[in-house]
């Protein structure tokens, strides 16, 4: 396959390494950073010269089989970039969290992007480890062995001390709690983006018509002075976040999504599916976020050409459709 990159930051470089391991060809890389423009991507990946330099023009991406897009979390801020890629005639797999289920926050933009994709005969999908797999696709997969579903609870817990500095920054580690909440409100920091998107993805797969969906997140406060290697957090400051998404049918909470991302948190994922006759509980020892994201989007890119043109979601790509038990 011939693939390109729109955005060549840390996540894209993880994706690029997986791409090269598969023997695919990289056609081009686009970024706006002056530190990256003009540099050979091979040197940025820590390997020998590759022969493709980062540019601020998307034109070299034309002719790619698929382009990996990784520049931001908010669809309204990256919409023009995605339209540009659609008009180049390339399929797109994007790590933009709000693109995973864009009809929640951006129904009008989503409709416009779907038309652009169809008009240009391309497929666009938002994916990643979360949203895009652990708290949405995986619960749907676990649900496949039940004839009907009554309730799903999915939890992801990770130790933020083991994550990259940019991740630690976006979950507010070391910040004053009130300042962090204010910066979240202004979208200067994101915490985690995608609680409601994951709820809606599960609902889309199970055919649930939600009465309402709620989401939120709050800082987790250090109860003592923490020192781990070069990470130091004073008592009373933020050590990470706790977040949630709830989907209701009537007054009943039928889909529950929870994320714990703070220093010292246990590493695991747990999915509990209650169905007709029995309950399934699935638990892991944790999934690395960066290489997990890279693997998910590359695996989707492998087969994206098989799907109809338009804006699709990751659950639309699944080969089965579990059923929600309606009361």
All domains of the chain, ordered by start, with CATH? 2-128+294-317 (3.40.50.720), 137-287 (3.30.360)
This prediction's pTM = 0.94
> What pLDDT does residue 187 have?
87
In this predicted structure, what is the pLDDT of residue 276? 84
User: 121, 309 in Cβ contact below 8 A?
Assistant: yes
**169 upstream amide cis, omega within 30 of 0:** no
pLDDT at 228 over 80: yes
Q: Assess whether pLDDT exceeds 90 at residue 327.
A: no
What does the pLDDT look like over 120-173, one tens digit per residue?
999 999 999 999 999 999 999 999 999 999 999 999 999 999 998 989 999 999
Q: Which percentage of the chain shows pLDDT scores above 70?
A: 100
Q: State the pLDDT at residue 316.
A: 95
What's the whole-number mean pLDDT along residues 28-39? 97
CB 282 within 8 A of CB 271: yes
The model's confidence at residue 60, banded by pLDDT at 50, 70 and 90, is very high
């Amino acid at each position: 396959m011939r693939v390109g990159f729109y955005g060549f930051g840390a996540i894209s470089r993880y994706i690029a390494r997986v791409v090269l391991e598969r023997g695919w060809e990289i056609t081009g890389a686009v970024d706006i950073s002056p530190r990256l423009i003009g540099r050979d991507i091979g040197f940025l990946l820590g390997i020998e010269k590759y022969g493709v330099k980062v540019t601020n023009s998307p034109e070299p991406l034309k002719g790619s089989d698929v382009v990996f897009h990784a520049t931001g979390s908010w669809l309204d801020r990256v919409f023009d970039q995605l339209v540009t890629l659609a008009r180049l005639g390339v399929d797109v797999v994007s790590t933009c969290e709000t693109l995973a289920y864009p009809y929640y926050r951006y129904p009008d933009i989503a409709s416009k992007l779907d038309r652009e994709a169809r008009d240009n005969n391309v497929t666009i999908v938002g994916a990643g480890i979360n949203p895009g797999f652990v708290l949405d696709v995986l619960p749907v997969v676990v649900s496949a062995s039940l004839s009907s579903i009554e309730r799903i609870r999915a939890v992801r817990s990770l130790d933020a001390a083991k994550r990259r500095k940019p991740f630690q920054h976006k979950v507010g580690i070391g910040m004053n709690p009130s300042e962090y909440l204010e910066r979240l409100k202004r979208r200067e920091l994101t915490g985690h983006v995608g609680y409601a998107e994951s709820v809606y993805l599960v609902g889309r797969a199970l055919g649930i018509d939600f009465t309402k969906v709620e989401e939120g997140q709050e800082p987790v406060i250090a109860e003592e002075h923490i020192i781990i290697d070069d990470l130091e957090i004073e008592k009373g400051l933020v050590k990470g976040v706790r977040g949630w998404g709830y989907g209701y049918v009537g007054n009943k909470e039928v889909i529950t999504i929870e994320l714990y991302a703070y220093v010292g948190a246990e590493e695991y994922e747990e999915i509990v599916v209650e169905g007709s006759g029995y309950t399934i509980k699935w638990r892991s020892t944790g999934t690395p976020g960066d290489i997990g994201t890279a693997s998910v989007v590359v695996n989707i890119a492998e087969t994206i050409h098989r799907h109809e043109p338009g804006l699709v979601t990751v659950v639309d790509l699944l080969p089965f459709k579990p059923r929600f038990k309606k009361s």
